[in-house]
A = this chain, B = another copy of it.
Amino acid sequence: MKNRVDGFKTIPGSICAPRGFKAAAVSCDIKRLGTGKGSEKGRKDDLALIVSDVPAAVAGMFTTNQVCAAPVKVSARNAAGKFARAIVVNSGNANACTGTRGMADAEKMTELTAQSLDLEARDVLVCSTGRIGVPMPMGNLKRGIAAAARRLSGTRLSARQAAEAIMTSDTRRKEIAVEFDLGGARVRLGGICKGAGMIQPGMTPSGKRPAAGLHATMLAFLTTDAAIEPDFLKEALEKTVAQSFNCITVDGDMSTNDTVLILANGLAKNPPGGNLKTFQRALDFVALELAKMIVRDGEGVTRFITLHVHGARTAADAEAVARAVANSTLVKTSWFGGDPNWGRILCAMGYSNAKVDEAKIDVGYSRSGKNKITFAVRRGQPTRIALRTLGAIVSQPEFDLHIFLNAGRHDCVLYTSDLTEEYVEFNKGNLSDPKSLGG
């Protein structure tokens, strides 16, 4: 099962692949209580622990949604401490819009985890995903955390079970690990994540908005045995998220709970001052693979589109055009139909916040991973290409869309999906169905 992709050898084991990391998953009936997406009749794991044997450098990226869940606030604060040992995660309840009680519950989750593992509460990060506005069932969590702590192990099975326990509306677990050389040491980096709906993350290290605001719950947890300074780790994670998780959109809704966390415990003993560019490249690779898995497994998704905007006047213009097109209901529904409806694409570009000049726009399509672009529009007007030629590309499960603004030298890439009847059916909710209040 070893593969080499983009120069990195993927290995099994995801978050337990790096030395000194253990994981565990248990069910404590949060999902079964019918709280949030992923609620199921059967008993499913809904609590995961990820623990480093030794103190690890930590960095995090957190949703910039102003209505942000209690665990996000607690984890952002604890991540600022630069070192941590454990992450506790539950699915089934987002602990969002839960006020002061929610904050106390999130803190309590770190305390319970710390007690079970003989740590300080500040060494523990906490994440939640699921229903919004419902108090956390703390009795269940207490039992669950204690049970998970007893089950911790560094096996592939534990990693896999953790990847499954954090799922809500995801249809499959998402995990990856790579191995690479860093200053002569063999280093491993692994990750798991979940997504499915409410997916258009815009995360920053503090959870505060940048000057230009971006707009799932998506959660991603990365582990590595590389020895990395916390300040560098923070910087590296920020760069990585900017080109991976912050570049995906399923439905344009940014969640109250989006979080990416990384722990680097140094057990690979790579020498200081090693080639950190290689670490960055590995991190970029792992994060982008995980981010793409989220889009491919988005609620009701049948198509995966890599959207390239080329030649914008400013970076903000490039992103504005990409987000307008990727989040247009009409564009997304036409992709579902395999329809190269480029008129809707130009329309969305025209109402974006970017400055665009219709007479300069080129729009083309290419098969996934191929360089040949078949142009539908040149300088704002249709080419003579047959619709069925374009349709043959757009009806593939994966394709690339290229928009050339011919106005400057700024580019942007977003990874997005179609919008399907299944998405609507899944999200319309139903008062008799407890998952209806899913976040």
Contact = CB atoms under 8 A, between A and B. Distances in A.
Interface of A: 64-68, 94, 96-99, 131-134, 197-198, 200, 202, 213, 215, 251-256, 328-330, 333-334, 336-339, 341-344, 346-351, 353, 355-359, 361, 377, 379-382, 387-388, 391, 395, 419-421, 423-425, 427-431, 436-437, 439
* Residues of A contacting B: mostly: loop
Contact of A420 (B341, B355, B424, B439): B424
Given A66-B356, A67-B361, A96-B347, 6 more contacts: A197-B330, A251-B329, A253-B347, A333-B423, A338-B430, A339-B429
Nearest to A96: B343
A180 to B, nearest CB: 36
Contact of A68 (B97, B252, B350): B350
Contact of A350 (B65, B344, B436): B65
Given A66-B355, A358-B97, A437-B341, A255 B431 contact: no
20 contacts: A65-B350, A66-B351, A68-B350, A97-B380, A97-B381, A98-B381, A133-B342, A253-B329, A254-B351, A255-B347, A329-B423, A334-B427, A336-B428, A337-B430, A338-B431, A343-B439, A344-B439, A387-B437, A391-B431, A421-B424
A320 to B, nearest CB: 10
Contacts of A430: 337-339
The 3 A-B pairs of least Cβ separation, nearest first, read A132-B343, A67-B350, A337-B428
